Copies of this chain bind each other. A is one copy, B any other.
């Protein structure tokens, strides 16, 4: 899907940026197993990342897609690569105890003379310790290029921003569906079903894709846990529900969380809400080109401190094109110590949240860095959505 969204010039620019980073790190051949990076470089799309696959970027010539034989047709349909640049491994190696697809990759690399200064994404879900042992057995020590391509993705093109704003429209539509359906006594899975359906059916002709993370939707004490998904417990009164979802348009994301409350929220939750809302305003006002990640995070923690909450962990991360299990780009972070300067058209998910053992209040928004500060990618009312009981 993504390949058709972008001009060949844009793909050429992405490859050129990647090669510049390769040269700066003395890398001659880069093996990219992160499906988000594979898609960004070639347009490849498909739920095939549960088996070994990669894009191989040499210093010159087109990159190669490499994967399972039955996924080659998908590569031909979704990437801009010529058939001669689609490589595969023997089908009988799939999830086999004694054989491994990476043996075939080593052979492909040798046949093409791509045997020196090879780099890999050493800390990635889709590149295993076993794959690494096979490649190091064949070529000796490899360079660690974890995040190399991810960093090139940080500043978004105008076309990418258009896709992300459409994702934001989907996110807003999901949250509108959520507010409408949030009623006492409804089993939570029914509400999640409506919200997921809204995200995929879409709105105003914008069709949704699957998001890289399932809805996170804890209620009451569950909400003290950060990554609980959902269950069939009826929505109850006098508890906060935290709902984190993202629309996904052509694999681009724009996550946002809101807190909903059935009944009259107690004072401590209102105080937390106030601190979180001010944190967002302050962080968005600060998020201009040249500001550091740490500066943006400080806005959040200073707002929390004014309200009496001590907190200084990570409060946001870059977002964009992604596949499960994470919609973050895993490069910089909005946190103390990160001196990376924001640049125009970078995109982040700002995540101010306060958790106690009894409840959690989080209100989070995705934004793009502009000269006027952070511009939200989705238009969603921020206050706690209160349903009278």
Contact status of A130 and B125, CB under 8 A, knowing A202-B189, A324-B324: no
Asked if A229 and B124 sit within 8 Å, CB to CB, the answer is no
Q: Whole-angstrom distance between the alpha carbons of A208 and B230 in the complex?
A: 9
Which B-chain residue is minimally distant from A325 (CB atoms)?
B50
The reply to whether the CB of A383 lies closer than 8 angstroms to some CB of chain B is no
Q: How far is the CB of A375 from chain B (nearest CB, A)?
A: 24
- Could you jot down 27 A-B contacts, CB within 8 Å? A1-B231, A45-B228, A47-B214, A68-B226, A70-B226, A73-B224, A73-B225, A73-B226, A73-B355, A92-B314, A92-B335, A92-B336, A94-B333, A95-B314, A125-B125, A127-B128, A128-B129, A129-B131, A129-B132, A130-B144, A132-B132, A192-B200, A193-B197, A193-B208, A209-B229, A324-B325, A325-B325
Asked if B200 and A193 sit within 8 Å, CB to CB, the answer is yes
Q: How many copies does the complex hold?
A: 2
Asked if B226 and A48 sit within 8 Å, CB to CB, the answer is yes
Within 8 A of B (CB), among A46-83: 46-50, 68, 70-71, 73-74, 76-78
With a cutoff of 8 Å between Cβ atoms, the chain B residues found around residue A128 in the complex are 122-125, 127-129
Within 8 A of B (CB), among A322-337: 324-326, 328, 330, 333, 335-337
The reply to whether the CB of A143 lies closer than 8 angstroms to some CB of chain B is no
Q: Whole-angstrom distance between the alpha carbons of A347 and B127 in the complex?
A: 28
List 7 A-B pairs, minimum CB-CB distance, nearest first.
Answer: A207-B232, A74-B225, A129-B132, A123-B130, A193-B201, A197-B197, A50-B326
Interface size of A as a range: 35 or more
Q: Whole-angstrom distance between the alpha carbons of A325 and B336 in the complex?
A: 32
Contact status of A189 and B201, CB under 8 A, knowing A77-B225, A227-B47: yes
Question: Interface digits, A124-153 against B, CB 8 Å rule (1 contact, 0 not)?
Answer: 111111111100000000001011000000
Asked if B196 and A333 sit within 8 Å, CB to CB, the answer is no
Q: Whole-angstrom distance between the alpha carbons of A91 and B129 in the complex?
A: 24
The reply to whether the CB of A97 lies closer than 8 angstroms to some CB of chain B is yes
The reply to whether the CB of A317 lies closer than 8 angstroms to some CB of chain B is yes
Q: Whole-angstrom distance between the alpha carbons of A192 and B198 in the complex?
A: 11
Q: Whole-angstrom distance between the alpha carbons of A185 and B257 in the complex?
A: 34
Q: How far is the CB of A32 from chain B (nearest CB, A)?
A: 14
Asked if A222 and B77 sit within 8 Å, CB to CB, the answer is yes
Question: Interface digits, A300-325 against B, CB 8 Å rule (1 contact, 0 not)?
Answer: 00000000000001100100000011
Q: How far is the CB of A311 from chain B (nearest CB, A)?
A: 10
By a beta-carbon cutoff of 8 Å, the part of chain A in contact with chain B is 1, 45-50, 68, 70-71, 73-74, 76-78, 91-92, 94-97, 100, 120, 122-133, 144, 146-147, 187, 189-190, 192-194, 196-202, 207-210, 213-216, 221-222, 224-232, 313-314, 317, 324-326, 328, 330, 333, 335-337, 355, 357
With a cutoff of 8 Å between Cβ atoms, the chain B residues found around residue A125 in the complex are 50, 125-126, 128
Asked if B226 and A210 sit within 8 Å, CB to CB, the answer is no
With a cutoff of 8 Å between Cβ atoms, the chain B residues found around residue A76 in the complex are 225
Q: Whole-angstrom distance between the alpha carbons of A127 and B349 in the complex?
A: 26
Q: How far is the CB of A149 from chain B (nearest CB, A)?
A: 15
Q: Whole-angstrom distance between the alpha carbons of A224 and B133 in the complex?
A: 33
Contact status of A95 and B325, CB under 8 A, knowing A207-B231, A232-B207: no
Asked if B225 and A95 sit within 8 Å, CB to CB, the answer is no
Asked if B228 and A77 sit within 8 Å, CB to CB, the answer is yes
Which B-chain residue is minimally distant from A69 (CB atoms)?
B313
Asked if B314 and A94 sit within 8 Å, CB to CB, the answer is yes
Q: Can you add 15 more A-B contacts, CB < 8 Å, to A50-B213, A74-B227?
A: A1-B231, A47-B216, A70-B227, A70-B355, A71-B225, A77-B225, A91-B313, A122-B128, A123-B131, A127-B129, A129-B132, A187-B207, A189-B201, A189-B207, A192-B200
